[in-house]
A and B are shown apart, each in its own frame.
Chain A
Amino acid sequence: MSLTYLKLRLKLPSNNMLVFIRTYRQAQRSTGPKSQEGEFRTLQLTPAKNNRSGPMKKRPKPVYKEVLPPRYLRMSTDQDWTNVWPTATTFKQSVVPLPITQGYVASDKENKGLPIEKRANAELMKIPNFFHLTPNHIKKHCAAIKQYCTPWPEEFNSDEACEYYLPIQITTHDYLNSTPSIRDTRARVVKFNFKLTQLEFDEHARDKFVRLAGPRYNTDTDELTLVADKCPYRKQNYDYAQYLLTALYFESWKTETWEQERTKNDWQRYYWDESPSRDRLLDILKAHEKDPSSVNSKSLLDRNKKLVERYRKSISRVQDEGVENELKNLKDYKNDVLMLYNLKL
């Protein structure tokens, strides 16, 4: 809403009917400066801009106390800095005895072309400083904390030794934030890590264990990793991971009835003893004998143990090992078969 200004027209009496009452303040000139006889005297309730006598007077700044010179002038060169700056604080120019400058001066107009000193320098106050962590500080801190440390055991002198004595690694993370709250949900995660060689397995148990573990098992490094983060608290996750491990281990030793129903498609490696290849070999060996039906298969295998072993090994290798040594394995297989047939090429 716009305001309307109305010019006020005062009718001042020319005689003394109105008495100006003197107030406690100094008598202000309620009439303008040019009030001579006959001239219209304008009412000025507040002193007008034109009326000012001289430039505005600045109130003198009160000096409260004699300010001492900065403290660094009094510091001796052999003082103990760890006592002067014990904790992390903002940069104080009166305490640091170094002539530090910070700032970019683009031309001679800025700061008179001089480098910007530490006095009245806000930039130096903003950045974090490490005056509280000089080498002397760290020495002292380490010496003080050492009392809570135990010595590194001598037995731990190599990686294998560590693995031997410390078979399992349990990893938890702690997070610090510059917030009022110390909670962080990422801290609930617990990771269990160990090599399967540390546990006692027989073949079935190991195989079952690995199948149960699934992607948690790393075949290259033979490591099992259990990451527990289901529960909200770390302790709960820790207990859960423990439970999981024990369950896995003992489950892997159990043999369910339905595991007998394993077919050739489920074999994790080539079981020659159950394969048709064995039957065929037996047939071949039996064929050498005079009386095929009356020969015990086991004794037959025992007699030709070497050959059987070689054949078994080579065919298992062909079946098990992948593409890497395929050529070599096939060659070996060929030689073994030939030897079986007593043929030499």
Chain B
Amino acid sequence: MFLRIFNRCASTATASRPTSFTFPQRLNRSPTAILEALNSCVQTDGGNPAYIFMDDPFLIPTSGHEKRQLALSKASGKKAARWIIDRYSYAFFHDVAAPSIPSYFPSYTFDEKEFIEPDETTLYKLMNWNKITKAYEIYKKCLENNVDISSTCKYALFDLLCIYNSENPMDTLPPEEDWYRRELNETNQSGLTKRTWKDNGLAEQMFEELKLSATSVEQKIRLYNSFASGLLKYNYAEKAMTILDEMRQNKISIDLTTYNYLLRSISSIKESYEARWQFITECLQDMKQNSIQPNLRTFNSILYTLRRCSLYEQGPILALSILKEMRQCGIEPSLGTWAHIIMIFYPNDQIGYETQILPQIMDELEKQYESNGHQFQWKDIDDSEFFFNAMFKATVNCRDIDLAKRIHRFLMTGSNSRFIPDGFKEQMYYANLFRLLFRVDMPEQVMPLWESVVPNIYSPSINVIEDLMEFISTWNINDYYVRLWSDLLMLGFIDNKQNNRRIIERYLMLLNRTNTQENLSKDQIKQYANIARQILKRFPLVPEEEQKFENTNDNQKQEISEEQQRRNQFKQLQPVFQYSGQLLSNLICLLAQADDFDASWSLYEHYLSNKNTLINPLNEKSLMLLLSLSIKQNHINRALDIIETINELNYECLSDALDLLNRNVNLSINDRQRLKTIQKNSSLESAHHVKLI
């Protein structure tokens, strides 16, 4: 600005400089552009807990239900605070912040007296505060009292009634609750096309009223369009079609939003796929005639309808043509578009293996990502389905590991992880991913991925854990077994009373399976034995008689105070950990290998005393191990007991057992007598072949 008065004539001593010089222009950036740029430096790290949790070993949730509990308790604390703020609002009005932060003030409470006056300003206020039903009441009062209300106000109210289906809109939930909203909001789970429009509700009444009073063309357009959009949004297709016919008769032009909703709900209007496609083309032509430019929502709605035509042969071709149209209109496809296309190309679990559409989609997306400056914006509601669908189809239909990993890598770049909006989708996404990887991939690739995601980003469900255990057993990743125990503890599977037995059985089978195959190091044997002891500590062996004893003794009941009684009852209601013979035998194997005679003998005795109630008998391996251990430690009587048990159970290994004991030099004559009697009594042939001294 000063250039006109500033003159370059002064400095003659310096070299001549070009007077024409353009300064580089300041790059325009939004107020938060730098923050967003810094934000893009951060990738999600699998070790950090989610932001809402405190980063402390005691306060990090590991299992799925723990995460939910803690997130919801935090939300509950916030609600409690909010209640106090609203109840004692006089304490919260002192403001020191400049600029002022409105969410730190008590929420505006409604005083009934304020809103009695039927007035236009009242109506606007109520509408701003989302109290639409109340607004309608006031509106009625206005009509009764003959108060003038401008048409903008009326139409605004009508629009709101249509949008929210004559109800007040739901309050937005805090983010912790929002993550679990699928579970909280049961209506969303099923029935995507259930008709929820309120018949003869406030919206319809107002519609009738306004129809009579609507004079200008614009008003009529707005009126009919809002009504039709509302009907279509809440899936009342028949009436919507009648309204649309009315509109066409009265030559009222249809709006873009109505077209969008219409295109979305075609599948509830027309039955056959051909008819649907025809209808779509008709709509598009209508739009073209009325020179309404389609937007992203239009195309996404069309693709949604195509998706609802399952197993339609023309589907993929038509979808591609829609894409071409989009490009021609200059609209960039959003994640939602791709989500629908994926579902069209892979309509169910079997079809679609040959088409290479999914890798192509990933290419496109990566290009888009680069060009958008490494950011993706939420453009459409359907965007939330993309990652879930992509992973679902990649794992189930294509069974392509690289593709799945690519999708996952794409999810992890930048802030794309916000495109999985709730907990349920995330569970399914990772379940699919790991199911595929466990089936097909190698441990060197899978385990790092598993470590990076579990437990903070994803807490696996029981099916995935079982798949994991299978994976580990097929690949024999010995080093991981002990770690797996602590992981199982951490993820809450051991404490979960419904499923823990299954898991523990499986796990112990896993441990024992490897014992026979390879030589384990002493450390590992010790660790396994420790695990066995931990299991015993957590789930102590309660012999059956004691349990019965607690139940039947009436005299003793009076002695025990009421509190203890209550505790006992509570314990009885919880399912007690049922030991089976198989479990016991696995435990015996582990303990016996670590030379822990007392523990294994106590297990054996427990088995003997509760033979009637336990499901499976002890297996051969455990008895043999126990036998060899007792021989090593010179408990001959006990060895003989074991052999008798083997005899009772008619195991084939009796011969080996007899042999083993036979070879032992320290047998007394009585013992050998006993051996001989056992041999005589046994029904196995092989036993008789053993030569006893």
Contact = CB atoms under 8 A, between A and B. Distances in A.
28 contacts: A67-B57, A68-B57, A71-B55, A71-B57, A74-B47, A79-B47, A80-B43, A82-B42, A83-B42, A83-B43, A83-B45, A83-B48, A141-B41, A147-B27, A148-B29, A148-B33, A148-B37, A153-B21, A155-B21, A160-B11, A164-B8, A167-B6, A180-B98, A182-B98, A198-B7, A199-B5, A200-B9, A245-B2
Nearest to B7: A200
A67 B58 contact: yes
Contacts of A180: 96-98
Given A160-B14, A179-B96, A197-B10, 10 more contacts: A68-B60, A68-B490, A69-B57, A70-B57, A86-B42, A145-B38, A148-B29, A153-B23, A164-B14, A180-B97
Interface string B39-64: 01111110110000001111010100
A70 B57 CA distance: 6
B17 A84 contact: no
A180 B1 CA distance: 37
A150 B5 contact: no
Contacts of A26: 561
Contacts of A198: 6-7, 10
Contacts of A140: 41
A150 B6 contact: no
Interface in B327-342: none
A168 B14 contact: no
Interface of A: 26, 65-71, 74-75, 79-80, 82-84, 86, 89, 92, 94-95, 137, 140-141, 143-145, 147-151, 153, 155, 160-161, 164-165, 167-168, 179-183, 197-200, 242, 245-246, 249
A141 B38 contact: yes
A97 B62 CA distance: 21
A157 B33 CA distance: 30
A45 B457 CA distance: 58
Contacts of A199: 5-7
B489 to A, nearest CB: 6
Contacts of A82: 41-42
A211 to B, nearest CB: 19
A164 B17 contact: yes
B57 A153 contact: no
A136 to B, nearest CB: 10
Nearest to A198: B6
Contacts of B373: 147
Contacts of B98: 180-183
Contacts of B17: 155, 161, 164-165
B26 interface: yes
Q: Which of A94, A180, A197, A246 is packed against the most chain B CB atoms within 10 Å?
A: A180
A28 B638 CA distance: 53
Contact of B24 (A86, A144, A150, A168): A150
B31 interface: no
A94 B23 contact: no
A66 to B, nearest CB: 6
Given A70-B57, A150-B27, A144 B97 contact: no
Nearest to B41: A140
B558 interface: no
Nearest to A84: B45
Contacts of A144: 37-38, 40-41
A70 B49 CA distance: 13
Contacts of B97: 180-181
Contacts of A181: 96-98
Contacts of B43: 80, 83
B55 A95 contact: yes
Contacts of A182: 98-99
Nearest to B56: A94
Contact of B37 (A69, A94, A147, A165): A147
Given A148-B34, A164-B14, A168-B6, A66 B57 contact: no
B541 to A, nearest CB: 21
Contacts of B37: 144-145, 147-148
A282 to B, nearest CB: 35
Contacts of A83: 42-45, 48
Contacts of B5: 199-200, 246, 249
Nearest to B34: A145
B25 interface: yes
B49 to A, nearest CB: 9
B100 to A, nearest CB: 10
